[in-house]
């Protein structure tokens, strides 16, 4: 190429480079940058070599370059500058594209944020209510304003422990245990309707009046029905002990869901912290739940666990971290009430609780409850009407219900007669109608009397928390052939009662020399009842003895006790309940084993309780003196 053409080509490439630099940096930015790099005067020079040096300082951002390129080096310098500018231009284009996308994304987010703010403002302005919810709210408020009068049970419920009739010993035991500096967990046993729940509700208020009580004035009393407690073995839900709501399936709070944080939900045991947890019908609770509650009673806290909990997560709130690491406080005193026997409670659970037994109400106490309730209802009641109630129920709650039924019937009949305004009278005839309409039967259908009978004896048994009088009768005939007699006994009486028959037969032969194989003997438990245990042994012996020897037995006395082959009267259980059953039947005397003499009988001051250690001591209570003397003569 000719020198002139080459010079023109260099000039053209140099001008193109300057324009490209202008486009990459912009005129103002290029001037400022060239000034800082001491390249502005070189670029404005008319000499191509100086212009190239200025472009080198500007493009490579190196003010120390000072060597002016020779003409033969121009192509190489042009190539370096073009490559560097191409790279910067590509980078600049990419940055512009990214900035554009960022700007668009920011605008989108800004619009979404504005939309969310608008929605929030609309929600705050309009609220969550709509015409349907407001209509339901108004209907519910109207329901609250309209209510019936207080129920009779609510109005007649004792307002203080001193108003609970017939349970002074149980109430004293309950309050004394709670007033202790170290109150135990307590289970109240007893039949329904005798005041267990009422006593538990009033006990805390009574204890707070005692100086030195460990409960504070703010101590909670949390009540729950054990028959309605349900829990999930997967620990998804447990209203008693508490559970953990995971953030995926169980709907923890929104701010926790977004962070994947589980949320513990405290149960009733934590709600009762520092106070009393009362579980009515605790005997209906599942054994597994009883054992889980036992663990809480021992630890005094509930331990939570969840696969979603991450102790290293800094987003976990402090209270959730505290509950997972230390558990939920659950230091309370448990009071359980049940109408079932202790065997219905888990043995491990039962062993850690103190027992308080509520007694069945006596007829006198039922009459007192009826008269007291009648006075509070402003009713007049005949004494015989109250006595009728006491013959048909031993539950205070049912006695009150019967009185309320009679009240409603008396009011209705008074209005039908047009005698409104007069004080109501509950007569015995009216109460009898109420008893018939309720399909109730007397508590003790066994008849007693003063006249002695042969082959009939009254025994004592236990049914639930109350006792009952059993009527055992025997009939003996000479066998068709000596030594070929037979014995018949109720199949439903039970195997242990049948064993008592054979023990009685052996003892009879020992004492009198009579072999039952010479008789056809028929024993019968009237009513076909099942005798669960050997406690009817003494009664069976007396019935057989009376039938075989034709000796009349007293019918105003009942007996309980196991008989041994040596003629000893062995101790049995349920003495208090059995005496109660004898009292209901109108008996004034019972005979019990000597070893049961220390058991309580103070609630029946009119009952004569005799003791016997063996057959010799038992016979005088049921046979005449001449009959006893006759037996002793034959025995000797």
The answer to whether 592 and 557 have CB atoms below 8 angstroms apart is no
Distance of CA 608 to the CA centre of its chain: 43
**Residue 629, SS3?**
helix
Beta strands in 125-283 (DSSP E): 185-189, 221-225, 242-245, 263-266, 276-280
Q: State the Cα–Cα distance between residues 493 and 83, nearest whole angstrom.
A: 114
**CA 82, CA 16: separation in Å to the nearest integer?**
10
Longest Cα pair distance anywhere in the chain, in angstroms?
169
- Among 449, 592, 474, smallest CA distance to 543 is for 474
Query: Which residue, among 443, 464, 319, has the nearest Cα to 387 in the 3D structure?
Result: 443
**From CA 212, how far away is CA 181, in angstroms rounded?**
8
Query: With contact defined as beta carbons under 8 Å apart, do 578 and 544 qualify?
Result: no
Distance, in Å, from the CA atom of 313 to the CA atom of 302, rounded to the nearest integer, reads: 22
* CA separation for the pair 129, 33 (Å, rounded): 64
Q: Do residues 615 and 511 lie in contact, with contact meaning Cβ atoms separated by under 8 Å? A: yes
The neighbour count for residue 505, using CB atoms within 10 Å, is 21
Given the DSSP bridges, would you call strands 263-266 and 242-245 parallel, antiparallel or unpaired? antiparallel
How many other C-beta atoms can be found within 10 angstroms of the C-beta atom of residue 21? Answer: 22
Cα separation, 372 vs 156, whole angstroms: 9
Please tell me the chain's helix, strand, coil percentages from 3-state DSSP, rounded to the nearest 5: 50, 15, 35
The beta-carbon contacts of 151-156 under 8 Å, at least 24 apart in sequence, are: 152/377, 152/400, 152/401, 152/404, 152/407, 153/397, 153/400, 153/401, 155/376, 156/373, 156/376, 156/377, 156/400
Residue 234, C-beta contacts closer than 8 angstroms, at least 6 positions apart: none
Question: DSSP assignment, residue 300?
Answer: S
Rounded to whole angstroms, the Cα distance separating 76 from 556 reads 139
* Strand 328-329 with 453-454, pairing: unpaired
Residue with tokens 């559970």: 243
Residue numbers annotated as active site: 535, 578
Buried residues in 563-579 as b, exposed as e (16+ CB within 10 A): beeebbbbbbebbbbbb
Paired with 471 in beta bridges are 458
Nearest CA to 434 among 406, 463, 455?
A: 406
User: What number of other Cβ atoms are within 10 A of residue 284's Cβ?
Assistant: 16
| Helix ranges, 180-231 (H) | 196-208
Continuous H helices in 377-470: 383-392, 396-416, 428-437
């Amino acid at each position: 190429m000719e020198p002139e053409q080459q010079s023109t080509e260099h000039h053209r490439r140099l001008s193109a480079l300057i324009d490209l630099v202008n486009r990459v940096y912009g005129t103002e930015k290029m001037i400022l940058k060239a000034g800082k790099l001491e390249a502005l005067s070189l670029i404005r020079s008319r000499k191509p070599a100086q212009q190239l040096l200025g472009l080198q300082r500007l493009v490579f951002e190196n003010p120390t370059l000072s060597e002016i390129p020779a003409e033969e080096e121009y192509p190489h310098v042009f190539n370096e500058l073009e490559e560097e500018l191409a790279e910067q231009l590509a980078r600049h284009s990419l940055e512009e594209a990214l900035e554009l996308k960022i700007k668009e994304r920011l605008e989108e987010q800004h619009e979404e944020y504005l939309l969310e703010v608008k929605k929030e403002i609309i929600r705050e302005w309009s609220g969550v209510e709509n015409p349907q919810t407001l209509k339901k709210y108004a209907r519910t408020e109207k329901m609250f304003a309209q209510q019936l009068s207080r129920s009779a049970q609510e109005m007649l419920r004792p307002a203080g422990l001193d108003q609970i009739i017939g349970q002074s010993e149980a109430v004293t035991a309950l309050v004394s245990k709670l007033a202790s500096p170290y109150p135990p967990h307590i289970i109240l046993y007893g039949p329904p309707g005798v005041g267990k729940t009422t006593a538990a509700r009033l006990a805390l208020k009574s204890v707070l009046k005692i100086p030195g009580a460990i409960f504070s004035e703010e101590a909670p009393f949390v009540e729950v029905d054990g028959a309605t407690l349900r829990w999930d073995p997967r620990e998804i839900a447990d209203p008693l002990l508490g559970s953990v709501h995971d953030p995926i399936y169980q709907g923890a709070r929104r701010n926790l869901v977004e962070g994947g944080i589980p949320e513990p939900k405290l149960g009733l045991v934590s709600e009762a912290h520092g106070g009393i947890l009362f579980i009515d019908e605790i005997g209906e609770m599942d054994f597994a739940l009883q054992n889980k509650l036992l663990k809480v009673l021992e630890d005094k806290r509930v331990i939570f666990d969840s696969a979603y909990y991450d102790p290293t997560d800094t987003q976990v709130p402090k209270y959730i971290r505290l509950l997972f690491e230390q558990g939920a406080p659950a230091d309370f005193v448990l009071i359980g009430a049940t109408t079932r026997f202790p065997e219905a409670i888990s043995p491990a659970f039962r062993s850690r609780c103190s027992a308080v037994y509520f007694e069945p109400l006596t007829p006198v106490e039922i009459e007192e409850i009826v008269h007291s309730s009648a006075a509070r209802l402003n009713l007049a009641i005949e004494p015989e009407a109250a006595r009728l109630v006491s013959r048909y129920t031993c539950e205070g709650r049912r006695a009150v219900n019967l009185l309320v039924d009679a009240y409603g019937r008396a009011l209705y009949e008074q209005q039908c007669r047009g005698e409104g305004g007069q004080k109501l009278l509950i007569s015995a005839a009216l109460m009898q109608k109420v008893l018939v309409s309720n399909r109730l039967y007397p508590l003790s259908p066994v008849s007693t009397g003063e006249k002695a009978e042969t082959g009939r004896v009254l025994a004592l048994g236990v049914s639930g928390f109350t006792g009952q009088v059993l009527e055992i009768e025997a009939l003996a005939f000479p066998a068709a052939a000596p030594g070929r007699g037979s014995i018949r006994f109720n199949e439903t009486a039970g195997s242990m009662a049948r064993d008592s028959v054979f023990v009685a037969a052996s003892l009879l032969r020992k004492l009198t020399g009579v072999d039952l194989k010479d008789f056809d003997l028929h024993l019968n438990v009237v009513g076909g009842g099942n005798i669960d245990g050997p406690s009817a042994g003494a009664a069976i012996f007396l019935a057989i003895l009376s039938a075989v020897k034709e000796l009349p037995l007293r019918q105003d006395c009942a007996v309980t006790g196991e008989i041994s082959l040596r003629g000893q009267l062995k101790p049995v259980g349920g003495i208090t309940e059995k005496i109660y059953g004898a009292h209901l039947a109108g008996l004034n005397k019972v005979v019990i084993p000597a070893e049961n003499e220390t058991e309580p009988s103070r609630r029946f001051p009119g009952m004569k309780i005799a003791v016997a250690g063996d057959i010799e001591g038992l016979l005088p209570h049921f046979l005449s003196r001449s009959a006893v003397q006759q037996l002793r003569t034959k025995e000797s």
